Structure 1
Amino acid sequence: MSGRIFLFGNDIDTDQLAPGLYMKGGIAELAAHCLEGVRPDFASSVRPGDIVVAGTNFGMGSSREQAAEALKHLGVAGVVALSFAGIFYRNAINLGLPVLVAHSIDGIGDGDVASLDIDAGLLNLPAKERTIRLERLPDNLKAMLADGGLVPHLKKRFAAERDKEHGRCA
């Protein structure tokens, strides 16, 4: 799957991703205001498969998991950044939103068409004939993402263990 790059700078915080004013309105309303403080047209422009690329400290601030949930609700295929705030990073993985660290985002332009290969840890920019290597995720986190996040992953694992205990094949 490929999508467009939405390029952001450093220090995108959770209040920009999930504005507090809309926290009581549910995820659809919250997502409709995602990143409006730095890019007012983001929520209305982003499409499933698009990729957010940012500088350092993406997701800094509060521990609200709705910040990652809003991006996932909008269909963002993943976030590539130079660095992530630790709580945001873990919330994203737990919710099934891929987050990958890049050592450089030089040459990536807003609106570039790209594809994200999570297994290989690559961001491919075909029009620029360029591939950016990303830090690869450990196999256990890739499995969690493939299952849709922590809760579906645990349900799958527990069901397999239960089936094994009862002598059934999964």
Structure 2
Amino acid sequence: MAIDSAWFYRQLENKDASVRDLAAFLGLDPSSVSRMLRGERKMSAEEQDGISAFLGVPLDIVAMHRRGERGVSGFEEDKTPYEASPGDIRGGGPMGKMFGRDDIIYRDGKRMMEKDDGTLIELHPAYGYMAATITVMPGVDLTAPMDWDEDWGETLYNA
């Protein structure tokens, strides 16, 4: 997909910044940044991180527009709680607080989460990377023993 150039230029305009300002922040030549924002050259991961920090926009939003996506697609299941069964080795009952995308705090171009005591911890760069890449169909228990006499695909996809 092509880069959403218009979005990047709007973000610069909203920040009252120029391509030259962004280039200086990234330590790149302005013509290189201009070609990148027009889609004439690829944006590296480091450049994407820098643009996120410069614009003060969450990294996943910059990545979405880098790929030219204008909306969210696919399945999203934020904050799906895990309920332990009574015989669970963890002692039964809910596992405790689950964190999702809405709990992320963006500060100084970094993604953080607040612990119960109020301290902020920086999230690993891979946090959330695989979100919504798989959907488990209702009624499928991935921890249940497999019935090898039945086709596994039938069990997983047609439960």
Query: As a proportion of its length, which structure holds more strand?
Result: 1
Higher RCO, 1 or 2 (CA under 8 Å, sep at least 6)?
Answer: 1
